Amino acid sequence: MQPEDFVQLFRKYLRSRELHITRTRERIAEEVFQMPGHFDVPDLWVKLRQDQIAPATIYRTLELLTEAGLVRKFFIRDRMCYEENLGRPHHEHLICSRCGQVVEFSDRALEERLAEIVEVHGFRHQSHQVVLAGLCSRCQQEEIKTNSEPPGLGGPEARC
Amino acid sequence: MQPEDFVQLFRKYLRSRELHITRTRERIAEEVFQMPGHFDVPDLWVKLRQDQIAPATIYRTLELLTEAGLVRKFFIRDRMCYEENLGRPHHEHLICSRCGQVVEFSDRALEERLAEIVEVHGFRHQSHQVVLAGLCSRCQQEEIKTNSEPPGLGGPEARC
DNA sequence: GTGCATGCAAAAATTTTGCACATCA
DNA sequence: TGATGTGCAAAATTTTTGCATGCAC
């Protein structure tokens, strides 16, 4: 999927809701698509402030993108994060609680079970969020060797 | 499990970390145990402000309770929530995106699959959070009948 | 032209931090 | 007594809102 396709889908959504298609909204969608992984509002603002786009508008537009299903919104490591949701396959997150690394995974059996659960309760499935937390293999070893601090790069202070 | 048992476990945790057992920490743990379901910091402060307990201390103590595994912390409906984690069986959450009702469920197959996934990636499992979102059966019907607003009570404005 | 969208600034809401004093071990 | 904990107030963050102006339709 190309950035333009993503923006096009957003345009389609806006039309369907009879909302205006503006240059600002297109810019935000473009930039969201180009973010490497998950990101938060300050991350995005860094890219958009040079275009004179205000944080308030970023919040408002991210909400639209989320409603459109083009963006997923989730909480990870005490921070609200967003992620473009169409350019790559659906996945969930596994986080090391010590060094902060985030592993993306997808699992067919898990997805099927989740869908079943939702149905059993009479709900129509819309979305879900799975965040697993554990200790990665490297940190398990580090923990045994020493009580040292986790590695600096990619450490717990790393943004989501 | 009784409130006193819960507080006792917290005392044990504090001792293990050589932290002080104080009346304030005991009060907070007591109140946490007695909250009906999930709650946020303002909810808890309502109960504790009469004891002159400051929000800052509530935040600090909730972090300890979470580290102790006595409380789960999670995000639901755009709000950071907490939940006492020992008095009742482990469960996940299913939320209606229209009326805001929260259904708690537990599912053995799901838990097992999650544990497997964590292992496959070489992680040691610590915790997880599953939040499913959908449309409950009543809201599915309402949606067909009209484009009316969701019901007022238990509606989207209901706290987590 | 009308109404929605935007930037800006202010406000609100949430969470963290510094510090003097209180409390626990 | 010494170290840790607490309340309070202030600060830092994050998110929302009001409003005048601009832009899409």
**pLDDT, tens digit, for every residue of B15-27?**
999 999 999 999 9
Asked if B126 is an interface residue toward chain A (Cβ–Cβ < 8 A), one would say yes
pLDDT, position A111: 95
Work out the percent of chain B whose per-residue pLDDT is above 90. 71
pTM: 0.86
The residues that bridge with B80 in the sheet, in sequence order, are B75
pLDDT band with cut points at 50, 70 and 90 for residue B149: very low
pLDDT, position B89: 86
Amino acid B133 reads A
Closest Cα partner for B28 from B9, B5, B51?
B51
- Partner-chain contact B118 A107, CB within 8 Å: no
Asked if B110 is an interface residue toward chain A (Cβ–Cβ < 8 A), one would say yes
- Partner-chain contact A126 B135, CB within 8 Å: yes
pLDDT band with cut points at 50, 70 and 90 for residue B146: low
Angle at A117 between CA A116 and CA A122, to 5 degrees: 95
- Cα of first residue to Cα of last residue in chain B, in angstroms, is 24
What would the pLDDT profile of A82-134 be if each residue is shown by its tens digit?
999 998 889 999 999 888 889 999 999 999 999 999 999 999 998 899 999 99
Chain A contacts in chain B segment 128-157 (CB below 8 A): 128-137, 140
pLDDT band with cut points at 50, 70 and 90 for residue A146: low
Work out the percent of chain A whose per-residue pLDDT is above 90. 72
Residue B14 is inside which H or E element, if any? helix B3-16
Of A126, A127, A132, the CB nearest to B118: A132
Question: Look-up: residue for tokens 């040292």?
Answer: A148
pLDDT, position B87: 84
- Partner-chain contact A129 B131, CB within 8 Å: yes
pLDDT, position B119: 95
Of B107, B114, B137, the CB nearest to A122: B137
**Residue B57 DSSP one-character state:** H
Å between CA of B89 and C1' of C10: 46
Cα dist. A8→A2, A63, A127, A144, B86 in Å? 10, 17, 22, 52, 49
At A106, list the tokens: 């997808």
pLDDT, position B145: 64
* Residue A69 and residue A33 in contact, taking contact as beta carbons nearer than 8 Å: no
**Residue A123 DSSP one-character state:** P
Tell whether the model's pLDDT for residue B86 goes beyond 70: yes
